[in-house]
Chains A and B, each alone.
Chain A
Amino acid sequence: MSENTISHKVAIAGIAETAYYKRGAADRSEFQLTLEAILAAAEDAGLDVRDIDGFCSYSNDRNDPPRIASALGCKDLSLSNMFWGGGGGGGSGAVANACAALVAGYSKYVVVYRGLAQGQFGRFGQGSQARTVSGGPAYTQPYGLMSPAQTFAMRVRRFMHDYTIGHEPLKAISMASYHHAQSNPRAVMHGRPLSEEDYENSRWIVEPFRLFDCCMENDGAAAVIVTTAERARDLRQKPAYVLAASQGSDYRQAATAHNAPDYGTSNFKTVAARLYAQAGIEPKDVDVCQSYENFTGGVMMSLVEHGFCAPEEVEEFMTLENFKAGTGKLPLNTSGGNLAECYMHGLELITEAVRQLRGTSTAQVQDPRISMVCSGPMVQPVSSLILSKE
């Protein structure tokens, strides 16, 4: 490992979220939700929120750091950072950027946050209402290929073709999220269990995705406080140390009109390699994994590209039993994730990864040492995070 690694030098010291709402159901503004999450994360850490001096977000979050810092009366603003790229690909990447700023000494306490009230702004799942489109969208939208589900189904279909994979792994991934949401009172789908029959009888959105293969659209906000390992040890919570945080995109993945040379991919091949090298661990060392579900097929490819099984082993490995906290080889999305806890653009996956290390998850894995997050399959760029107790 190189000298300049962030490994063991940074920790997540506070986590929080607002109540999670169905899309359009939040009764206060997106900006207020964001402030509430940041205040609660500082409180969780035992930190005066005015001491936060760095802000990192992603996916073009509308709530900009200068406004937040002014609203909260933060004493100083030393980092105002946006991870470029859409979707949830920047969740772990925003943490990675926070880590870099902390190790470089730019900032002392950085909040990584995401506020999202799709009811107050546009929905992700609807097609453009523009009369004309140009550039990349001109090659897809006139043909009715408009939404994220439609964009990514094409990649997943190709992967399933390449490795002769059927629908069972997608069902297992969906059911794992719903299963774990049933013990999580924060989850929007708490009290709404999903049976195998429910899944199989659900309508197609776009083949190979059924309704329950697709994430929800929600309102809410979440935040995590990131600081140096030394400062974290002086705060209230047991630190969740960052072993590795990696971001990026494989060769020409953003080529327009679906021309990425490697097509049936979640885009994690180079990111995962850098992640494990930085952490100095192997896939078998991971005790629990939160893997971003925009669509189940993306999770399937993410887990393969993070080395949990070979593509040829997907059907054998990716079963509901293997994904359950308590019995599974790879407990997956133990809060319910984007499918069943809340679509907070995957920041809820990072708070859950921390809860697992604290021992406070509602689907607790027994004494996990290594907790992983994979953020945003199939978008460009993507990112991943490995947290550890030590």
Chain B
Amino acid sequence: MSAAPYLPAGLPAPAAANDGLDTEYWEAARRHELVVQRCNACQGFQWGPEWICHQCHSFDLGWQKVSGRGTIYSWERIWHPVHPALREACPYMVVLVELPDAGNVRMVGNLLGDPMEEVVIGSAVEAVFEDHPDDGVTLVQWRRV
């Protein structure tokens, strides 16, 4: 199931890096799967992706599908629009989510629902896949569980 977009159309759309570093992440998101970069040598997780494992320096990196369950590590309620597309969208909520089953890497997304609802650091969230058919991309968002 795909959610209706949380923010209005017109923001920069994500594109895979020219060098192919994160193509698999964005393709997985379109399949409604959350993947995190994982080192095939030491099994360590890494996010954002890089061409080398920062722990063992292996260049043999792959992708691990993860559960999409996480906890809120930090949050911010944004009131001042810095982009024309956001003029009518404030306030909105951005959260930083920690993924315990992916080596506690963190991902940024919007927290779906009422932006004025209190946010508790440490509370549980899960990934929601938000399709943007016009851009051909899917964003990974978060909702309370």
Say how far A53's CB is from chain B's closest CB, in angstroms: 40
B74 and A142 within 8 A (CB): no
Bound Cα distance A206, B47 (Å): 25
B73 and A158 within 8 A (CB): yes
Contact flags A106-133 to B (C-beta < 8 A → 1, else 0): 0000000000000000000111111111
Q: A142-B11, A142-B12, A144-B89 are in contact. Are A135 and B17 (CB under 8 A)?
A: yes
Partner of B83, one of A132, A144, A161, A263: A144
Partner of B48, one of A136, A149, A155, A157: A136
A144 and B48 within 8 A (CB): no
Q: Which one, A77-85, A190-198, A254-262, A323-331, is touching chain B?
A: A254-262
Interface SS majority for chain A: loop
Contact flags B87-108 to A (C-beta < 8 A → 1, else 0): 0010110101000000001111
B82 and A125 within 8 A (CB): yes
Bound Cα distance A149, B79 (Å): 11
B80 and A206 within 8 A (CB): yes
A154 and B74 within 8 A (CB): yes
Report the contact-size class of chain A (Cβ under 8 Å from the partner): 35 or more
A132 and B14 within 8 A (CB): yes
Residues of the B chain whose Cβ atoms lie less than 8 Å from the Cβ of A138: 14-15, 17, 22, 26
Q: Does B28 contact A (CB under 8 A)?
A: no
Bound Cα distance A153, B74 (Å): 9
Residues of the A chain whose Cβ atoms lie less than 8 Å from the Cβ of B106: 257-259, 263
B77 and A128 within 8 A (CB): no
Q: Does A201 contact B (CB under 8 A)?
A: no
- A: residues with CB less than 8 A from B are 125-147, 149-150, 153-155, 157-158, 161, 203-208, 252, 255-259, 263-264
A-B contacts, 12 of them at CB < 8 A, read: A127-B83, A134-B22, A137-B12, A138-B14, A138-B22, A143-B109, A144-B11, A146-B82, A161-B74, A203-B79, A263-B73, A263-B106
- B: residues with CB less than 8 A from A are 7, 11-18, 21-22, 26, 47-48, 54, 73-80, 82-83, 86, 89, 91-92, 94, 96, 105-110, 121, 135, 137, 139, 141
Closest 6 CB pairs of A and B: A256-B48, A138-B14, A127-B83, A204-B79, A127-B82, A158-B74
Sample of 13 more A-B contacts, CB < 8 Å, known A133-B15, A158-B96, A256-B47: A131-B13, A135-B17, A137-B12, A138-B26, A139-B14, A143-B109, A154-B94, A157-B76, A203-B79, A206-B79, A256-B48, A258-B74, A264-B74
